Chain A
Amino acid sequence: MAEKKSGDLEKIEKLIEIMKRNDLVELEMSHGDNRIVLKRYPPMPPSPPAAGLGPSQQAAPASGNIPQTREVEALSAGPDKGLLAEIKSPIVGTFYATPSPDSEPYVEIGSRVEPQTVVCIIEAMKVMNEIKAEASGTIAEILVTNGQAVEYGQVLFRVRPD
């Protein structure tokens, strides 16, 4: 049964597709008086097994169950029962907390972050990749140390969202 969709609905569907395809968590578009904000919580994959790469993870969700919301993930994430978003490594490499050996770290516990805030560098094959927070809030936990090897999906920071 074909339905004629309104132009707006089509636009929104397209934006959702763009978000999914590029794995975005937040997208805002303004055009004149019109403004649209889309927020998305992608399903969190379960934490990887402790592979000797760093401090062991907090209690992980039951294996095989992929939590559908960040709330579920956060409640089992540790002693702090508040809502915590996780910043995970999107690549494999070496974590650096500072832009260069002598500088201050990008963020510390309590630092305020926005989606575009660079929180760390992960070096892979001699390329320094700037990792963005992709969340708004304050840094609640830092789970890795300078120079530590990290794998795909490894939790680097926990953020208390606004």
Chain B
Amino acid sequence: MFSRILIANRGEIALRIIRACHELGIEAVAIYSEADKDAPYLRFADEAICIGPADCARSYLNIPHIISTAEITDVEAIHPGYGFLAENINFAEICEECGITFIGPPAAAMRLLGDKVEARKLARKAHVPVVAGSDGAITNEAEALKLANKMEYPVIIKAAAGGGGRGMRVVHNDISLRSAFSAAKAEAEAAFGDGSVYLEKYIVEPRHVEVQVIADQAGNTLHFYERDCSVQRRHQKMIEESPCPVLDERTRDSLCEAAIRLVKEAKYVNAATVEFLLDKDKKFYFIEVNTRIQVEHPVTEMVTGHDLIKWQIKIADGHTLKFRQKNIRHNGVAIECRINAEDPERDFAPCPGTIAKYIAPGGPSVRVDTHAFQGWTVSTNYDSMIAKVIVHQKTRAEAIATMKRALREFVIEPIKTTIPACLDILSHNLFVKNKIDTGFVERNF
């Protein structure tokens, strides 16, 4: 087993990885920017190295500084967490070249699945249903118009190099397609450095359902069931749960098996999440693969009893999955709420500021993953997530009741947070009755 790992990330996921390392008897090296120098989780790391100023580009995205840190602290592996360099092919390759194990997929698999257009092609090859759309990138407006009319509106223009819900535009007719097409290309170029766009049929009022997959270096690929992440605002997830409350067993099995087929086709290793849209007829369509661990991984951990971060580390170390698919059981219902420093009453405007009073919820069945603490100043340097609250109960109704109880206990003052918005959603009739889709939040709040 590795003796020392560097965590190329910050905040709650850095702490999460430190914890997994320590439970496995591995030393953890943390990195921090000058803006994070007071982060309490740094004291849990065996070594903490300042790698740059607050600006991400010069710190958490600074590959030379991070690799240099890995060298001077003599680590054997780097865990990239999520975001930052987690899906950076260049970083994965540099780690490989420097003889440092990158805890994630091989760069080749990341490249294959990271390109949304290539991933769609691979999905077709693996007989995974995809949303109707272009076979590759669309280079001109005429091509786009022709395909859009063939598929029938509405269609969505997506950036091939995009992801995480960014660089997408829905259009309903030829006029809006004409005006959106070149704008979408320009946006993609600016945001991702690659102006390639493709077209997909826009599925009306879908649910977002994703499958957690893990593959070891021997090629064993298992799924850890699905998560429903339909509660989103502007494509950013707010609440996630497992299981997806509207899936029947047969559809669940097909969905999870499709995810495994796709990941195997790419010769993938380590953790991945395969995202699908579920239409009103319970038909599912592949949209993209996230070649990293996800923010909402605790939901799956609660319902399966597996520690996904430890699996990532063990697999990178060469361990194989020594059990079968049937040995992974799904128990009960888990729900996660992301708590952000945003004001729901001002259109979720970010609310940086100092948390003067902080009391996290507790009690049975409640898990809080956070790096926040009393006296912490939420800054504008990084994302606004303060904490993730996860609950696990036998039934969905009990899970909702426990989550509401936990959120009401959560004190984060005086800054504004999304706790009231989460409570409103959890109490909403449509959410309780499972009649939601990805447009639910924006239509009702």
Contact = CB atoms under 8 A, between A and B. Distances in A.
Q: Do A and B come from one complex?
A: yes
Nearest to B63: A125
Contacts of A48: 34, 37, 50
Contact of B68 (A45, A49, A124, A154): A124
Interface magnitude class on chain B:
20 to 34
Interface residues of A, number: 20
A51 B64 contact: no
B146 to A, nearest CB: 47
A45 B34 contact: yes
Given A45-B53, A49-B37, A124 B47 contact: no
Nearest to A90: B52
B290 interface: no
Interface string A101-131: 0000000000000000000000011000000
Interface in A38-87: 45-46, 48-49, 51-53, 63-64
B72 interface: yes
A13 B53 CA distance: 25
Interface stretch (A1-9, A25-33, A91-99, A137-145): A91-99
Contacts of B42: 49
A40 B405 CA distance: 54
Given A49-B48, A125-B64, A125-B68, A149 B73 contact: yes
A152 B50 contact: yes
Contacts of A149: 72-73
B37 to A, nearest CB: 6
Q: Which of B48, B52, B59, B72 has the most CB of A within 10 A?
A: B72
B177 interface: no
B375 to A, nearest CB: 9
A92 B50 CA distance: 8
A64 B98 CA distance: 36
B49 A151 contact: yes
Contacts of B52: 152
A152 B98 CA distance: 21
B65 A92 contact: yes
Nearest to A149: B72
Contacts of B37: 46, 48-49
B49 A51 contact: yes
Contacts, number: 59
Contact of B64 (A53, A63, A124, A153): A124
B143 to A, nearest CB: 42
Contact of B51 (A46, A63, A92): A92
Nearest to B34: A45
Given A45-B53, A149-B72, A51 B34 contact: no
A149 B50 CA distance: 12
B289 to A, nearest CB: 31
Interface in B41-69: 42, 47-53, 59, 64-69
Contacts of A124: 64-65, 68, 71
A154 B48 CA distance: 13
A45 to B, nearest CB: 5
A92 B29 CA distance: 14
Given A91-B68, A94-B72, A152-B65, A125 B48 contact: no
B38 interface: yes
A124 B66 CA distance: 10
B49 A92 contact: yes
Contacts of A64: 38
Given A51-B47, A151-B49, A151-B50, A125 B38 contact: no
B33 to A, nearest CB: 8
A93 to B, nearest CB: 5
A53 B46 CA distance: 12
Given A45-B53, A63-B38, A153-B34, A52 B68 contact: no
B38 A151 contact: no
Contact of B67 (A45, A53, A94, A125): A125
Contacts of B50: 48, 51, 92, 151-154
A49 B39 CA distance: 11
Contacts of B47: 51-52
9 contacts: A46-B34, A46-B37, A48-B37, A49-B42, A51-B49, A92-B68, A93-B72, A152-B53, A152-B65
Top 5 closest A-B pairs, CB basis?
A149-B72, A124-B68, A48-B50, A151-B50, A92-B68
